[in-house]
Amino acid sequence: MLVNPSHAVDPSKERHIELLSDPAHPVILETHDLKVFYGQKEALKDADLQFNEHEITALIGPSGSGKSTFLRSLNRMNDRVAKVTGEINYRGIDINQPDVDIYAMRRQIGMVFQRPNPFAKSIYENIAFALRQRGVTNRHELDDIVESSLKGAALWDQVKDDLNKSALSLSGGQAQRLCIARAIAVKPDILLLDEPASALDPVSTSQLENTLLELKRDYTIIIVTHNMQQASRISEYTAFFNMGRVLEYDTTTNIFTNPQIQITSDYVSGNFG
C-alpha cells in the first residue's frame, strides 16, 4: 500500500480549474499550496496545478523559476535538500506525507533526468536490474518486460541484437531512450521528465518527442523544457513559472497563441529579460 489510508484527501478540499475539466482525461495528480524552501529561500510559492491522465503537460519558465524544483517535488526527490509543504494528491492520496512509502510511490511516479544516466551495465541489465530488485526473477518474464519496455521507448529495433552490450556504448539519444525504457519497465502511472532532450541533437530530439507522444497512451507525462517549440509540439497543457510562482496555466494552444499575461507572451516569444 502506498500510504496510510488516513491521508486520503477530503473530496471537499479538492479544487479543480474548470478549464481543465475533461471527463476523457480525469485529473490524476494535483498540488495544493505546494511550497519548497531551500533553507530560508522559498524556491516555490503556493503552486496549485492539476494534471490530466494520459496527457502531456509542459512546465516552462526561465532558469531558477521553480519548474524543476516543482517537478522534483512531485516524486519527493527534494526531501533531502529542501522543506516541501502543501499537498501532492496522487489519485486522491496526499503523497507529501512522512509515512508514505517513497519507493512504492516512485514505482507509480517515475523520473527521467536531463542527462542520460545509464548504469555501467549491459543494455539488458539496465532494465532487468530494477525488476530483479522488485522480485521479478523469472527469465522469460524479465525478457518480456525488457523487450516491451525497449519497444515502448522506441529503442528495441536498434538494440535487440546487442542487448548484452554496455549501455555506455549507446548514443546520447539512445541512452536517453534507454532511461525512459528503464523508467517504464516498472509500469509507472506518471512519467516526470526534466529537460530530457537538452543534451540531444535535433534528430534524437524528434525521435524522443515521437516516443513521448506514443507513451502518453499509457502514461501521464509532465515535462520540464527550455525548448518552446518542444512544449508547443507535444504538450496539451503548459504551465509558465517565473520567480517561484506559476503565473499562467492553460492549454498549450492558448499559451502559445493568446496568453492572458504579458510576461508569458514575452517569455514564449523570446522577448524576455
Q: State the residues that interact with other proteins by CB under 8 A.
A: 228-229, 232, 256-259, 264-265, 268-273
- Say how far apart CA 76 and CA 86 lie, in whole Å: 12
Q: Compare residues 78 and 264 and give the one whose CB is closer to other proteins.
A: 264
DSSP 8-state assignment for residue 24: T
CB of residue 208 vs other proteins: minimum separation in angstroms? 19
Q: Compare residues 143 and 266 and give the one whose CB is closer to other proteins.
A: 266
In the block, residue with C-alpha cell 496545478: 49
Give Cβ neighbours of residue 19 (< 8 Å, ≥ 6 apart): 250, 251
CB of residue 223 vs other proteins: minimum separation in angstroms? 18
C-alpha cell recorded at residue 187: 509500469
CB of residue 269 vs other proteins: minimum separation in angstroms? 5
User: What is the CB-side half-sphere exposure of residue 272 using CA atoms within 13 A?
Assistant: 16
Q: Compare residues 59 and 175 and give the one whose CB is closer to other proteins.
A: 59
E strand or H helix that includes residue 211: helix 202-215
Give the β-pairing of 83-90 and 93-94.
antiparallel
- Between the alpha carbon of residue 188 and those of residues 96, 104, 181, 218, 271, the distances in Å are 18, 10, 11, 9, 38
Q: Compare residues 52 and 232 and give the one whose CB is closer to other proteins.
A: 232
> Residue 142, Cβ neighbours under 10 Å: how many?
18
CB of residue 263 vs other proteins: minimum separation in angstroms? 11
CB of residue 262 vs other proteins: minimum separation in angstroms? 9
Q: Compare residues 8 and 19 and give the one whose CB is closer to other proteins.
A: 19
